[in-house]
Amino acid sequence: MRAVWKGTIGFGDYAIPVKAYSAVGEHAVPLHQVHEPDGGRVRVRRVCEVDGADVPDAEIVKGYPVPGGDVVVLTEDDLARLPSPPADTIDVHGFVPASDIDPVCFAKSYYLEPEPAGTKPYVLLASALLETERVAVVKVALRRRETLAALRVRDQTIVLQTLLWPDEVRRPDFAFLHEDVDLRRGELRRAVNLVEELGADLASYTDQHREALEALIRAKAEGGDVERPTGREQDEGVTRLLMALQQRTVDSDPAPVETARAAAAMASRARAAARKAASRRGLSSST
């Protein structure tokens, strides 16, 4: 595992150096968006709505829309001046019974590993949490945002469990909650018996959709049912030429957005023609 954060836990007189690792690893099959006729990757461009130009990362900042169509632009310096906990400290604010935190508040989980010099105070904190059946309420800066979290113990390891802020959790307000539903004692007894009889082992469950998707991909690959993108070099050359022509046209055209769209359509037709030409050359060489 690769550490995603390094810092210290501030616990009383202790400063426990730790590294954080993501506690989960998603196993989704990585699927890309491709062009169905030829299997070419579909790329997403960042384009300005005002002038139709491609926008480099260095020119992208945050903005908040306000009534009237204006935008409040927030620079990196603006955001850096906002109050936030120290970027390298997990600040313990107190301890509460574990049952006080509703699981609906749970967000992401990170395992905390102590640095060698912090092993003893780390084990001391973990043991105290287990002994008291409590969790630590903490604040930490993750990705420059103040984050509410809890420290709990799992498999003798302290887990940093990020939490939703209390005002982010919605309360249910459904019509049936305001009705007086009459339950008979016998009905409740049968339901309780059923709940107690039907056990479940979470470890035995697998993602059947993912397994079926992986089997489908293997079968299609082994059966030769694949697409090989062709004419890539021709495509790239045509694209570069048309982008240069498009830029010169945009510089002199009073309607740059329409011009950009027309140039994009020209590029698409040119790429299709290049692929057909490459296909014909391939057929000629094979015969």
pLDDT digits (tens, 9 = 90+) for 25-42: 878 888 888 888 888 888
Q: Which of these CATH numbers, 3.90.660.10, 2.40.37.10, 1.20.1600.10, 2.40.290.10, describes 5-26+81-167?
A: 2.40.290.10
pLDDT band at 247 (very low <50, low <70, confident <90, very high): low
Range scoring the smallest mean pLDDT among 5-9, 240-244, 251-255, 259-263 = 251-255
On whether the pTM is more than 0.75, the answer is no
**pLDDT above 70: percentage of residues in the chain:** 80
Sign of the Cα torsion 183, 187, 193, 195 reads negative
pLDDT band at 245 (very low <50, low <70, confident <90, very high): low
Beta bridge partners of 47: 54
For residue 57, the SS3 value is: helix
**Angle at the Cα of 236 (from 233 to 239), degrees rounded to 5?**
150
- List the structure tokens of 233: 């070099």
> β-pairing, 5-11 with 89-97?
parallel
- List the structure tokens of 278: 């490459």
